[in-house]
Amino acid sequence: MKAVFYSKYGDQGVLEYGDQPDPRVGPDTVLIEVKAASVNPVDWKVMAGYLDGALTAHFPVIPGWDVAGVVLQPGPAVTEFSAGDEVMGYVRMDTVGQGTFAEQVAAPVRTLSRKPANLSWEEAATVPLTGLTALQTLDALEVGSGDTVLVHNGAGGVGTFGIQIARARGARVIATASERNHDFLRGLGAEPLTYGEGIADRVREIAPDGVSAVVDFVGGDDWRASLDVLSQAGRVASIADADVKEHGGRYIFVRPVAADLSTLADLIEAGDVKPVLAETYPLERAAEAFAANMDGHTRGKIAITLT
């Protein structure tokens, strides 16, 4: 099969495009014909070797954890899916080697749910990692109706999902982004604020009573400054800074949970959440897609297409 892979750690220059062995179908895995994948910052961070202490790499490594595609063959223990089913998944395992930037992937059934019928393949491929991260962060803080939520990095891949999910739950959402993205955030249902120095004062101007939840999707100093506008019973979580635990908050590391993916599919099919697709690249141009993601200014997600 054709795939993108790398045989050593490095930047996007180590990526190659060519033939790799077809994946094997284990008892609890599903062989998928990949229609689309998407790029996440963790993909190039793994490629750079930053997670070598946590994830064993089996070279050559095919990158990618997000997928949308068609079931070719369910493993002998799999009862959840049949050949021909359209699925999406966050195909993260405890090692890296057999990723989703390939014509086929063998995905553990625990990482998959049905593909929302109202999404293209490319849109569906942008959902799993970032959508799950947003959902699990909001779940951890029990965000719901009556909450005022401050979302840091609202225009990023996770932030766009976080805003829409929180709004679907009846929360008021304030979100940070550069000024060029303020109209975009309004379109998602958020009240935009510019990030950076003075963020607490800007929050107080529009929410004098403060906020009941802070969700940090970027790291840096803004979430710490936000503690000054957090109500006494407020909650805080970060996906980027484990120091949040020292302030009574939650550090979130996303997990592949099939039930959560199904929840996202329900929200999408109900029209409450829509993925934000920034750009698409063919598989053979994956290095360009990595470079675009590494630039750090993507609005939404970048997809890799194999159709």
Tell me, yes or no, whether 16 and 93 share the same domain.
yes
Whether 264 maps to a domain, the answer reads: no
Tell me, yes or no, whether 119 and 135 share the same domain.
no
Whether 110 maps to a domain, the answer reads: yes
Tell me, yes or no, whether 144 and 245 share the same domain.
yes
The pair of three-digit structure tokens given for residue 183, joined into one six-digit string: 């109209």
Whether 270 maps to a domain, the answer reads: no
Tell me, yes or no, whether 122 and 148 share the same domain.
no
For the chain, the straight-line distance linking the first and the last C-alpha, in angstroms and rounded, comes to 14
CA distance 94 to 89: 15
- CATH, residue 283: 3.90.180.10
Whether 257 maps to a domain, the answer reads: no
Tell me, yes or no, whether 87 and 154 share the same domain.
no
For the four alpha carbons of 142, 144, 147 and 150, in that order, the dihedral sign comes to positive
User: pLDDT tens-digit profile of 170-215?
Assistant: 999 999 999 999 999 999 999 999 999 999 999 999 999 999 999 9
User: pLDDT tens-digit profile of 101-133?
Assistant: 999 999 999 999 999 999 999 999 999 999 999
Maximal C-alpha separation, the chain: 59
Q: Is the pLDDT of residue 296 over 90?
A: no
Tell me, yes or no, whether 135 and 113 share the same domain.
no
Find the length of the chain.
307
Whether 263 maps to a domain, the answer reads: no
Burial letters 33-46, b for 16+ CB under 10 A, else e:
ebbbbbbbbbbbeb
List 70's β-bridge partners, or say none: 33, 86
Whether 267 maps to a domain, the answer reads: no
Please, what is the average pLDDT of the chain? Answer: 97
Strands, E, within 22-94: which ranges? 29-39, 56-62, 66-74, 86-90
**Range list of H helices, the chain:** 41-47, 121-125, 128-140, 157-168, 182-188, 199-206, 222-226, 258-269, 286-294
- pLDDT at residue 299 in the model: 87
Give the DSSP letter string of 131-180: HHHHHHHHHHTT--TT-EEEEESTTSHHHHHHHHHHHHTT-EEEEEE-GG
CA distance 230 to 174: 13
The pair of three-digit structure tokens given for residue 254, joined into one six-digit string: 């996303």
For the four alpha carbons of 217, 154, 200 and 207, in that order, the dihedral sign comes to negative
Tell me, yes or no, whether 247 and 138 share the same domain.
yes
User: pLDDT tens-digit profile of 226-269?
Assistant: 999 999 999 999 999 999 999 999 999 999 999 999 999 999 99
Tell me, yes or no, whether 8 and 122 share the same domain.
yes
Tell me, yes or no, whether 50 and 105 share the same domain.
yes
- CATH, residue 241: 3.40.50.720
CB 190 within 8 A of CB 154: yes
CB 275 within 8 A of CB 167: no
Number of domains in the chain: 2
Q: How far is CA 24 from the centre of its chain?
A: 26
Whether 261 maps to a domain, the answer reads: no
Tell me, yes or no, whether 8 and 117 share the same domain.
yes
Tell me, yes or no, whether 158 and 189 share the same domain.
yes
**Range list of H helices, 11-107:** 41-47
Tell me, yes or no, whether 99 and 80 share the same domain.
yes
Q: Whole domain around residue 100: which residue ranges?
A: 2-126+276-305
User: pLDDT tens-digit profile of 149-165?
Assistant: 999 999 999 999 999 99
Of 234, 251, 268, which closes a domain? 251
Whether 266 maps to a domain, the answer reads: no
- Per the rule left: phi > 0, alpha: psi between -120 and 50, beta: everything else, 264 is alpha
